[in-house]
Structure 1
Amino acid sequence: MKVSAITLGCKVNQYETQAMLSQLEHTGFTVCDGPADVVLINSCTVTAQSDHKVRQTLHRARRDNPTAVLVLTGCMPQAFPEQAAALADADIVLGNSNRAALTEQILHYLSTHQRIIDIEPHSQKFESMQVTNFHERTRAFVKIEDGCNRFCSYCIIPYARGRVRSKPLADVRTELQALGKNGYREIVLTGINLPAYGQDLGLTLCDAVEVACKIPEIARVRLGSLEPEQLSPPVIARLAAQKKLCPQFHLSLQSGCTATLKRMNRHYTADEYRMIIQNLCAAFDNAAMTTDIMVGFAGETEQEFQESLQFAREIAFAKVHVFPYSRRPGTRAAELPGQVSKAEKERRSHLMTAAVEETRARFLQQQVGRTEPVLFERRRTSGGFEGYTPNYTPVLTESAEDLSGQILPVKITEASADFCKGVLANF
C-alpha cells in the first residue's frame, strides 16, 4: 500500500513524520508523493490559525484522495482532543503519545472500517523513535528532546507536548552513527525546548553536541531553536570547543521590550538577551543570530513596540521571523486586557519586517569576500546549485557538475536581498 505524508509546523514535526514513515516502510508500506492509500497528516497547533490550516489540509487531502485512509496525528489532537475528534474527514486520530501504534491502528481500520480515536495522556518517558534516512534531504534532523516546562503565557505547546523528556545519550549516539553511515554530512539537533535536553537525565545539551561531533562521518552539527537564558557562559564555552558546531543560533526573542517579555512569562530581560548574544559572538567567528519576533502582544503599547523595534535594529539579526500575536484559547494571554487590533498588529508587523529586512541585507553583504565551506543541497530551477555556509547563509553557485550533497569551498562574490552568490574556490 502507498502512504504519503503532510507535515505542518516545526522541525520536530518533520522528524516525527519521517520516523512514522520509516515505521510504515518497515511493515511493507511504500512511501510516495502523489495519490496514496494512506495519508498521514502531522498537525501543528501553535496558533488558532494553525488549527484552521489543519482543517483545510484535511479537507484538501480528502478531496485529492477520496478513498484513502486519513490519519490525523500531532499536536492538535493532543492539545484539543474533542475538537480533533470532531473533524469527520479524519478516519484515525492519534495523539502525540501513542504513535508507536500507528501501523497497528491503520491495519485495524482497514479490516473494520470503524473510525478510531486514540489519544492518550503524555508519557513521562521519551518517545522511542529512530530515523536512518530522510527522503530527499541532504541534512538530517534528529529529535533529542520533547516537552516544555516554561508555560509562556501565549503558548499552548506544554499542553500539546507535556513536560521535558530527553532521548538517552546512547540512543542519540546510535541514531547519529546510522545517519553518518548513510551519508548525511550535517545533522540538526532539535527539540521543543532544546536547551532543556538532559535535565531529566542528569545531562546537558553540551553532552549531546559532543556526542554528535565525535561521529567521524558527520561534518557539521547544527542546533534548532534555543531558549536564550539557558545559554550561560560555561555552556557557551563548552559549545565553542566543538569545531563541528555551526555558528548559527536561533534564539527565540519574541520581544525586545522587557515589560512585554514579563507579560509573556519569558524568563529573561532584554538586557540579559543582549549579553547572551554578545557572549556568543565573542565565542564564535562570523556567527549568525536569527530569531522570532512577535508584534501586537496583549497589552503592547506603542512605546513598548518601539523599544522592541529598536532592539531588533540594535542586535542586527541575520534573519527574523516576524509574526503578529494570535490569541490562543486555553492560554493565559488570551484573557489579558489590552488586546491589540488586527489593523494595528498589521502595521507593526510591516514596520518590524522592514527593519529586519535591512539588517538581513547588511548581514549578507558582510559575507561578501569570505571563502566558506558550502553544503550544496539542490539545483535551482533558474540554474546553479544552492547550498548553505556554516552560519546558514544561502549561497548560489554556477557549476556544470552535480554538487548536491558535497561540502566545497566557495568564495562569496555578491549579495542580494535574500541570498549570496559565489564561485568555487578551487576553480
Structure 2
Amino acid sequence: MKVRFLTLGCKVNQYETEAMRERLEGRGFAAAGDNEPADVLIVNSCTVTAQSDQKARQALRRLKRQNPDAVTVLTGCWPQAFPHEAEKLMEADIILGNSKRGELADRIMEYLSTKQRIVDVAPRTKGEPFEPMSVRGLSGHTRAFLKIEDGCERYCAYCIIPYARGHVRSKPMGDIRAEVAGLSERGYKEVVLTGINLPAYGQDLGITLCDAVEAACSVEGISRVRLGSLEPERLTPEVIERMKRQDKLCPQFHLSLQSGCDATLRRMHRHYTSAEYMRIVEELRAAFPNCAVTTDVMTGFPGETEGEFMESLDFCKRVGFAKVHVFAYSRRPGTVADRAPDQVSNAVKERRSRVLSEAMEASRLSFLRSQVGRTEQVLIEREAGPGIWEGLTANYTPVQVEAPGELGGQMMRVRIKEVRDNCCFGEKSLDFHG
C-alpha cells in the first residue's frame, strides 16, 4: 500500500513523521510518489495556534478530495489536546493521539478489515515513559534531527503544548549514542538535538542536557551537534561551562525570549527576567566566540501597552540578535491568555510586528556583515542556482559559494567576502574537503 504524509509544525513533528514512515515501511507500506495516488493519507498535526488546527482540517479535507478512496489518518498534537474537536472531523477515518502512534500500522489494517471508524486518544499521565523511536535519516535534509526529549511542565499562559505533550520524558543515553552512530554511518555530518522543552532533558533520569550533548559529540564521523530551541533559564553558568568543552557543539543558540519587557514576561508566566536573559546571552558569547543568538519574540500579548512594546523593542536592539522570528500573539482556546482581559487588536499587533521586524532586519544585517572576512566550514545543503551552492556555517550563517560538481551534504571551507540579499557570499578555500 502507498502512504503519503503531511507534516505540520515543528522539527519534533518532522522527526516523528519520519519515525512513523520508517515503521510503516517495515510493515510493507511504501511512500507514494509526488504524482501517484495514495492508499493511506496521514496528517501529523500541530496545535500551537487555532490556525494550526484549521490548517490540519483543510489539509485532510483537501487530501481526501484528491484521494477519495484512501484511508485517512489524523494524529499529532491537535487530537491529543482537543480530542472532542478533532473527532468532529468526519473526513478522518482514524484519529490517534500522540501516545498511540506505535499502533499506526495495526490500526490501518484494522480499519481496512472492519471499515469502522477508529478514535483512540489516551490522556497523558505522569510517569509515562519516553516513546521508543528512532530514524535512519530525514528525507530531503542534509542535517538529521534527533528527538531526545518530549513533554513540557512550564505552562506558559499562551501555550497549549503541555496538554498535548504531557510531562517531561527523556531518551536514554544509550539510545542517543546508538541512533547518532547510525546516522553517522549513513553519511550525516550534523545532528540537531530537538525536544519540546529541550533543556529539561534528563530531569526524569537524573542527568542533564550536557550529558546528551556529550554523548552525541562522542560519535565518530559526526562533525557537528546543534541544539534546537532552548528555554533560557536552565542555561546556568555551570551548564555553559560544561558545553563549551565540546568542540563539535555548534555556537548557535536559539533562546526563546517572547518579550523583552518584564511586566509582559510575568503575565506570560515565563520564568526569567530580561536582565537574567541578557546575562545568559553574555555568558554564551564569552564561552563561544562568534556565536549566533537567535530568538522568537511575540507582539500584542494581552495587556501589552505601547510602552511595554517599546521596552521589548529596545531590549531586542540591545541584545543584537543574529535573527529573530517575530510573530503576533494568536489566541489559543484552552489557555490562560485566551481568557485574559485587555486583548490587543489585530491592527495594533500587526503594526508592532512590522516595527519589530524592521528593527530586527537591521540587527540581522549587522550580524551577517560581522562574518565578512572569516573563513568557515560550510555544510552544503542545496544548489541555489547553476553552479551556486548554499549551506550553513556552524553558527547558522547562510553562505553561498560558486563551485563545480555535486556538493550536497559535503563540508567546504569558505572565505566569506560580502553580504547580499540576506545571505553571505564567499569563495572556496584551497583546502576544500568533503
TM-score range, shorter chain: over 0.9
Match of 1:81 in 2: 83
CA contact 1:364–1:416 (8 Å) conserved in 2: no
Shift of 1:382: 5.6
After superposition, the C-alpha distances for 1:74-114 in whole angstroms (9 at most, x for unaligned) are 00000000111111111111111111100000111112221
- Determine if the alignment matches structure 1 residue 412 to structure 2 residue 416: yes
Specify whether residues 33 and 260 from structure 1 end up closer, same or farther in structure 2 by C-alpha distance, changes over 3 A only.
farther
Match of 2:23 in 1: 23
Match of 2:129 in 1: 125
- Determine if the alignment matches structure 1 residue 395 to structure 2 residue 365: no
2:106 to 71, 91, 104: 104
Match of 1:193 in 2: 197
- Determine if the alignment matches structure 1 residue 294 to structure 2 residue 298: yes
Rounded to whole Å, the distance in 1 between the matches of 2:406 and 2:427 is 14
- The one-letter amino acid of 1:69's match is V
Shift of 1:63: 2.0
Q: Which secondary structure does the structure 2 equivalent of 1:21 belong to?
A: helix
Shift of 1:49: 1.1
CA contact 2:295–2:323 (8 Å) conserved in 1: yes
1:327 to 303, 324, 331: 331
Rounded to whole Å, the distance in 2 between the matches of 1:29 and 1:64 is 20
Rounded to whole Å, the distance in 2 between the matches of 1:226 and 1:75 is 20
CA contact 2:387–2:404 (8 Å) conserved in 1: no
Rounded to whole Å, the distance in 2 between the matches of 1:378 and 1:33 is 21
Q: Give matches, 1:80-229, under 5 Å.
A: 80-122=82-124, 124-229=128-233
Q: Which secondary structure does the structure 1 equivalent of 2:98 belong to?
A: coil
After superposition, the C-alpha distances for 1:48-69 in whole angstroms (9 at most, x for unaligned) are 1111111111122112222211
Match of 2:259 in 1: 255
Q: Which secondary structure does the structure 1 equivalent of 2:144 belong to?
A: strand
Match of 2:288 in 1: 284
1:63 to 53, 56, 65: 65
Shift of 1:32: 3.1
Rounded to whole Å, the distance in 1 between the matches of 2:418 and 2:165 is 43
Q: Which secondary structure does the structure 2 equivalent of 1:377 belong to?
A: strand
After superposition, the C-alpha distances for 1:235-288 in whole angstroms (9 at most, x for unaligned) are 001010000000000000000000000000000000000000000000002100
CA contact 1:134–1:140 (8 Å) conserved in 2: yes
Q: Which secondary structure does the structure 2 equivalent of 1:222 belong to?
A: strand
Match of 1:4 in 2: 4
CA RMSD of aligned residues (A): 1.0
List gaps (5 residues or longer) in structure 2: none
Shift of 1:383: 4.6
Q: Which secondary structure does the structure 2 equivalent of 1:322 belong to?
A: strand
- Determine if the alignment matches structure 1 residue 316 to structure 2 residue 320: yes
Most deviating of 172-181 and 257-266: 172-181
Q: Which secondary structure does the structure 2 equivalent of 1:189 belong to?
A: strand
- The one-letter amino acid of 2:310's match is Q
2:50 to 38, 48, 51: 48
Most deviating of 163-172 and 206-215: 163-172
Rounded to whole Å, the distance in 2 between the matches of 1:182 and 1:383 is 26
Q: Which secondary structure does the structure 2 equivalent of 1:148 belong to?
A: coil
- The one-letter amino acid of 1:162's match is G
CA contact 2:251–2:394 (8 Å) conserved in 1: yes
Specify whether residues 417 and 275 from structure 1 end up closer, same or farther in structure 2 by C-alpha distance, changes over 3 A only.
farther
Q: Normalised by the size of structure 1, how large is the TM-score? A: 0.98
Q: Give matches, 1:353-368, under 5 Å.
A: 353-368=357-372
List gaps (5 residues or longer) in structure 1: none
2:273 to 269, 276, 283: 269
Rounded to whole Å, the distance in 2 between the matches of 1:244 and 1:324 is 35
Q: Which secondary structure does the structure 2 equivalent of 1:195 belong to?
A: helix
Structure 1 runs of 4+ aligned residues shifted over 3 Å read none
CA contact 1:361–1:417 (8 Å) conserved in 2: no
How many residues matched?
A: 427
Q: Indicate the percent of aligned positions where both proteins have the same amino acid.
A: 61
CA contact 2:380–2:408 (8 Å) conserved in 1: yes
Shift of 1:122: 2.1
Match of 2:350 in 1: 346
Rounded to whole Å, the distance in 1 between the matches of 2:387 and 2:428 is 15
Q: Which secondary structure does the structure 2 equivalent of 1:408 belong to?
A: strand
